[in-house]
Amino acid sequence: MNIKELESKLTALFQPRSFKDYAPNGLQVEGKGEIKKIVTGVTASMALIEEAVKREADAIIVHHGYFWKGESQEIVGMKYRRLSRLIKQDINLFGYHLPMDAHLLVGNNANLARGLGLQSLRPLEMEKSLEESIGVVGTLEQPLAPEAFQQLVKETVGRDVLFESVSEQMISEVALCTGGAQGYINKALAAKADVFITGEVSEQTIHIAREEGIHFCAAGHHATECFGPRALAEYITEHWGVDCEFVDVPNPA
Ligand SMILES: [Zn+2]
């Protein structure tokens, strides 16, 4: 596949213009024109680039790319080493931040929700459509006790999770937003969810959970954001006829 074709397919898939974001969504670093192998991952770290080089990938698609609002503009140090490695290897880099959180087919939130078996998904950002909301709310088929729910999340993300059980209350309505969305606990409260799952925790999140009476789970920023890149790799291989592989570079955060 030609790089222009890949770019237009990704634009059609992710609709980046529908999102106000903190980084450019789309082709961030241009490389070779002919695409035979693609790697997806969570973050365009040096380790991911090296894995892509090993696999002779022509393009990398990540959730956390480069050129974030507020970062320093100089191309020095770590930033130079990453960009220089990509450019010398002629590898294209695509980044999709919020569009990859929100996408209902290949996004982080919808696929975590699917993994947990949630039904009748609705937007966590209630003023937005489900397609544009960052975060979703869904219903468990069977209400679960907090301990059983914690176990379900552990199995779904494949790692230990921080779980703050605030009462004996059974869990049926689940709000979730992958990554560093602990500030969205207030949106989970407004949505009348029984539990809020995100990737990270702040000290104050626990107090809010206890005092407002909502169970809280921090299941890992990285772990919750593998769901989109993994689903995307399967989608591209199946529908676009290009070999695409999700590469996990584990991260305890
Ligand atoms: Zn993230």
Domain boundaries, the chain: 3-99, 103-224
Give phi and psi for 58, each to the nearest 5: -100, -20
Tell whether residue 222 is among the known ligand binding residues. no
| Ligand 1 midpoint to CA 230 (Å) | 14
Query: What's the pLDDT at 6?
Result: 98
Q: Given pLDDT bands bounded at 50, 70 and 90, which one contains residue 60?
A: very high
- Side chain identity, residue 18: S
Structure-block tokens of residue 125: 């950002």
Structure-block tokens of residue 29: 């670093």
Tell whether residue 215 is among the known ligand binding residues. no
Rounded distance, CA 104 to CA 228, Å?
Answer: 9
71: DSSP letter? S
Q: CATH fold of 3-99, please?
A: 3.40.1390
Query: What's the pLDDT at 154?
Result: 98
Q: What is the mean pLDDT of residues 157-176?
A: 97
- Average pLDDT of the chain is 98
List alpha helices for 34-157, DSSP H: 46-54, 77-89, 98-102, 108-116, 146-157
| Ligand 1 midpoint to CA 185 (Å) | 16
Residue 124 · residue 137 · CB < 8 Å: yes
Q: Given pLDDT bands bounded at 50, 70 and 90, which one contains residue 172?
A: very high
Residues 143, 252, 182: CA angle, nearest 5 degrees: 55
| Ligand 1 midpoint to CA 49 (Å) | 18
Rounded distance, CA 120 to CA 137, Å?
Answer: 8
| Residue 81 neighbours by CB under 8 Å, 6+ apart | 46
Query: What's the pLDDT at 23?
Result: 96
| Ligand 1 midpoint to CA 179 (Å) | 4
| Ligand 1 midpoint to CA 158 (Å) | 18
Burial class (CB in 10 A: 0-12, 13-18, 19+), 66: middle
Query: What's the pLDDT at 39?
Result: 98
**What percentage of residues in the chain have a pLDDT greater than 90?**
100
CA nearest neighbour of 115 among 79, 88, 152, 142: 152
Tell whether residue 97 is among the known ligand binding residues. no
51: DSSP letter? H
Query: What's the pLDDT at 143?
Result: 98
What SS3 class is residue 252?
A: coil
Q: Given pLDDT bands bounded at 50, 70 and 90, which one contains residue 112?
A: very high
| Ligand 1 midpoint to CA 220 (Å) | 10
Domain range 103-224, CATH architecture: 3-Layer(aba) Sandwich (3.40)
Q: Given pLDDT bands bounded at 50, 70 and 90, which one contains residue 198?
A: very high
Tell whether residue 141 is among the known ligand binding residues. no
Tell whether residue 239 is among the known ligand binding residues. no
Query: What's the pLDDT at 53?
Result: 98
| Residue 203 neighbours by CB under 8 Å, 6+ apart | none
| Ligand 1 midpoint to CA 109 (Å) | 11
Residue 140 · residue 118 · CB < 8 Å: yes
Rounded distance, CA 52 to CA 226, Å?
Answer: 16
> Is 103-224 the same fold as 3-99?
yes
Could you give the C-alpha distances from 57 to 36, 154, 226, 243, 248, in angstroms and in order? 7, 32, 19, 9, 15
Query: What's the pLDDT at 131?
Result: 94
The model's pLDDT over 127-141, given as tens digits with 9 standing for 90+, comes to 999 999 999 999 999
Q: What is the mean pLDDT of residues 225-231?
A: 98
